[in-house]
Each structure stands twice: as C-alpha cells, then as structure tokens.
Structure 1
Amino acid sequence: MFELITPQGGRTVSAILFDKDGTLLQFVSLWGSWSECLLNRFTEHLGKKGLVIPEEVFPSLLGTVHDHNGVIYDYDRNGPLAMGTMEDIYAILSWQAYLSGLSWVESIELVHLCRQEADEMLEQKRPVLPLAGLECFLDACASQGIPMAVVTADETAAAEKHLHWLGIRHYFAEVIGTDQVVHGKPFPDMLQLACRRLDLDPSGVAVIGDTNGDMRMAKAAGAAVGIGLTGTASYESALSMLPDADIIVSSYEYLQIEEITE
C-alpha cells in the first residue's frame, strides 16, 4: 500500500487512476486547437451553403471560452468538450447544422468532414504539453512502484496517441477509453474495468481529474479518494467546479507518494 500525501492530509491507496485531458496534458493546448479548427471549418463549410451561425453561439456549443479574435483560451470544466464523448460533440454540431437548414444526413456528413480536417491538423501540429509538475510526480510514483492507469472520456486509440506524443505512455499499465465501456463518466464503468485489469479493489484507488465527472465516477465506484486539479482557478471557483472532490489541489507540486512499509 501507499500513502498519497496532500495539503489536506494523507490517504492510503493501492493505485492511482488519472484522467487525461486537463489532468495529464494541458487541455486548451490540445483541445482548444482542435476545437478552433473544427468550429472554423464548420462555419466555413456552412458559409459556402449560404448558412451562418452567430458568433455568440460558439461558446455554448462545446463549452469553450473565446477572446475577441475567436481564439479559445479556457473551457467549462463541466461542459461538453471537457466531459462529453466525441459522439456527444458530433451530435451537438450535427444538431446545430440541422437547425441552420441542412438535412440530418447533410449535417452528419458535414461534421464528419470537419472532424477529419481537425484531426489532420492535430497530427501535423501535435500541440500537447504536460501539466506543471506532472513528470516529477509520475517519476516519484514509478520509483515507488504504485500501479497507474488512465481513464479518459476520449477514445482509446486517440488517448494512446496523445500519451505517446507527450512521452509518458510507459508510466501506465492500462489506458481505458470511453469506447471500452457501456457508460462513460460520471458512471463507474471505466474505473471498474481498470481495477479488474489491474486486479485491484476500487475502494483502494485514488482518482485524479479536473472535472466533476471524474469525481462523480470516483464516488460511484467507491474509490478511496477523488482529487481535483484546479490549475489557476481560485479555490472558490474550484469548489463550485468540483463539488464532489474529496481533495482539491492546484498542481502536482502539492502531491507526494510514499510506500507504506511495516
């Protein structure tokens, strides 16, 4: 067993399960770039058909925060982009295209085309950056021998790719994407699957994530502790974003791991 040491006390755990986006890698760097490309292509293709989506609608589509130039610099941690599946996102855009005047079939085809273009941009730029203190914490965990896995709302193949881009795939015994389970977050399915594969009891694992969906998954599975990462958000904002977190920290610099020896 291991002790996960936090500013709010230590917790005895047997493993750590990490969310990916916003927890291992900087969310806006990857998904802000992808979403900007997706939305830009979406509006361009609609414009060619004489259809227009008002700019003020954009933030409500995916839960993104834009500056006056349309650049995404933040996101709603409990919004569709942060917590939804890729299928959720495509359904939202397809519905918007349908409301704008396309048939449902045309809407689905348009969103599929935009997704391909956004994915191609990611392949070329690979805009992945680690969170502050992440690699030091992963190194410390690996040196202590604590089992680690990733449980993400992203699809497994994409998650594997992003972890390889970041150079951290080797730290994790398992990568569980939402495509491997019937119900994604906030339901317990991914956590339970990871524990079965690692031969662990869910009651002994810690979950680290940046959304309340991660925290609710942890509670639904009976995990030992749910730790919410807030980044630069104020503590008051963090409490409203992560009401189900057991412990809240701004970065990995406030976490330590030690093996418990008799």
Structure 2
Amino acid sequence: MPGAHPSEIRAILFDKDGTLVDFNRTWFGITMELAHKAANGDADRARALVAAGGYDWEMERFRGGSVVAAGTINDIVDLWHPELTLEEKRERIRAYDDYAVREGSRRAVGIDGLRETLERLAAQGFILGIATNDSEAGARTTAEALGLTPLFSVIIGYDSVARAKPHADQLELFSARTGIPASAIAMVGDNGHDLEMAHAAGAGLAVGVLSGNSTLDDLASLSDAILGSIADLPDFLAGRGKALRG
C-alpha cells in the first residue's frame, strides 16, 4: 500500500495505548476492577465481561481490534450494560471515565524507550500529537504523569471530536490545529482503527506498530509500513531503518 516518502512527513500523530503506553500492563488491572463493579462483585461474571471485551485468558492479552483494545468507554458500557437506560448509560460512562482517567495515568507504563524516542523525533523537527479513543482528559493526565506533555503540540481524545476512530475526525482536527496537511502527517498505531483513520483522512503514512495487541497479519493490509515499536520510528523516517513490512 503506497504512502508518502518519509522525507515528506512533517508531523506524527500517535495512538496512545499500545503505541506509547504498554496496553496490557497498564489496562488489565483497571479493566478487571471496572468489570467487578459492573458484575456487582461476581468474580465469574467479571471474568466473562472482560473476555467479552476482548481478553484472551489463555494468551493473557487483549485481542487487537477488540472493544477494550480499540473502543471507547461508551463502547464498553454498551457491551457490558445493554439493559441500562440512556441516562443510566451516561452516568455509567462518566463514572468509568473518571476512574480510567485517574487510574490510567497513575498506573501508566510507557513503551520501552518512550521518552528518548519522542525527544529524538522532536529534535528531527517533527510536530507530535496524540489521538486516542480514550478521553482527552485521560490522554492529558497520562502524558503529564509520564512527563511527556511538553513534547506534544496537540492531544485529542474520542470526546474531542464528533466521531472517534476509525473515522477521520481526530486526524483532521490535528491537521487543522497544526496547519499541516494530512498528506504530510504520519499516523502511528497498534490497531486497525488507527490505520483506518489514517486512510480515511488521507494521511501521508499509516504506520503500524507491534507493541500493542495486533499481529503483523492484523495490520498488513492497512499499513504503509510496520515497525516493532515507535523506537524504530526515528531511523525509519530518517531513511536509515528498515520496516518489518512496507
């Protein structure tokens, strides 16, 4: 799938969980705790809810593209609480969002080499941003907790736009706020919906990373290039590194 030449890229928009943050180490415990709340303390029911959300108990990881790995809090509430009224769902979304903002930032574990990689990219002149299906508040508090806020020009959550990934809205907002056309932006993410957004918005590059929940096969048809993690990105964009695919 042809994309822009790396030399044409001026800005990089990152997914958060699985791309900047170790998804399973950060979110498994939080998801289990929310599931216990949803199940009113029934441990078996909580395990079933987490499995429905995409956790593979044999592999001990969330599946790529699953509701927990790729969806929003709204999607999780819809899955776990189909019996609630609209107003009850809104209240549950607010409660879960508040918990996720607080605990997601407190327990955030960065991908290996996170700060060094972002500092290298900034030194290379790239404008950096975050686009996540977590809330904007969650993304901001996590960036702050990891000491990364000064490195990002724009931080966008699912609630910053009308439509979350895989729609184009987040990348279009990043483009509007930075003044950089989509064709000069690389979208980097670990799930298919990240790359689908890149194509929907006309991004210059759709770069998949294997640091999250997806496999090479999951991302192959959607990516212009696939890297092991963002640690490979500075050399790749400088023309010195080789992608696993692309």
Once residues 94 and 8 of structure 2 are traced to their aligned partners in structure 1, the CA distance between those partners, rounded to angstroms, is 48
Alignment CA distance shift 1:52-1:108 (3 Å) = farther
Q: What's the counterpart of residue 159 of structure 1?
A: 139
SS at match of 1:32: helix
Q: RMSD of the TM alignment (CA)? A: 3.2
Q: What's the counterpart of residue 238 of structure 1?
A: 216
Matched, 1:181 2:177: no
Q: What's the counterpart of residue 19 of structure 1?
A: 15
Matched, 1:88 2:75: yes
Percent pairwise identity? 26
For residues 172-225 of structure 1, give each alpha carbon's deviation from its aligned partner in whole angstroms, at most 9, with x where no partner exists: 001011111111111111100111000110011101101010001001111111
- Which segments of 5 or more consecutive residues in structure 2 lack a partner in the other structure? 240-246
Q: What's the counterpart of residue 3 of structure 1?
A: none
- Which segments of 5 or more consecutive residues in structure 1 lack a partner in the other structure? 1-8
Q: Is the 8 A contact 1:15 1:147 kept in 2?
A: yes
Q: Is the 8 A contact 1:77 1:241 kept in 2?
A: no
Matched, 1:140 2:120: yes
1:256 shift after superposition: 1.8
Once residues 185 and 91 of structure 2 are traced to their aligned partners in structure 1, the CA distance between those partners, rounded to angstroms, is 42
TM-score (ref. length: structure 2):
0.82
- Match for residue 202 of structure 2 among 201, 205, 222: 222
- Mapping 1:45-60, distance limit 5 Å: 45=41, 47=42, 53=45, 55-56=47-48, 58-60=50-52
Q: Is the 8 A contact 2:18 2:212 kept in 1?
A: no
Between the two proteins, the alignment pairs up a number of residues equal to 234
Q: What's the counterpart of residue 56 of structure 2?
A: 65
Q: What's the counterpart of residue 79 of structure 1?
A: 66
1:40 shift after superposition: 1.8
Once residues 79 and 153 of structure 1 are traced to their aligned partners in structure 2, the CA distance between those partners, rounded to angstroms, is 12
Once residues 204 and 113 of structure 1 are traced to their aligned partners in structure 2, the CA distance between those partners, rounded to angstroms, is 36
Q: Is the 8 A contact 2:189 2:207 kept in 1?
A: yes
Once residues 213 and 90 of structure 2 are traced to their aligned partners in structure 1, the CA distance between those partners, rounded to angstroms, is 38
1:108 shift after superposition: 4.1
Once residues 231 and 109 of structure 1 are traced to their aligned partners in structure 2, the CA distance between those partners, rounded to angstroms, is 32
- Match for residue 128 of structure 1 among 97, 105, 108: 108
Alignment CA distance shift 1:10-1:145 (3 Å) = closer
SS at match of 2:81: helix
For residues 7-56 of structure 1, give each alpha carbon's deviation from its aligned partner in whole angstroms, at most 9, with x where no partner exists: xx8452011111111111111122212101111222235x5xxx973844
Once residues 202 and 90 of structure 2 are traced to their aligned partners in structure 1, the CA distance between those partners, rounded to angstroms, is 41
Alignment CA distance shift 1:149-1:58 (3 Å) = closer
Once residues 43 and 210 of structure 1 are traced to their aligned partners in structure 2, the CA distance between those partners, rounded to angstroms, is 29
Deviates more, 1:167-176 or 1:109-118: 109-118
Q: What's the counterpart of residue 5 of structure 1?
A: none
Once residues 105 and 216 of structure 1 are traced to their aligned partners in structure 2, the CA distance between those partners, rounded to angstroms, is 29
Once residues 132 and 29 of structure 2 are traced to their aligned partners in structure 1, the CA distance between those partners, rounded to angstroms, is 19
Q: Is the 8 A contact 1:20 1:159 kept in 2?
A: yes
Alignment CA distance shift 1:178-1:54 (3 Å) = closer
Bigger Rg over Cα: 1
Matched, 1:115 2:111: no
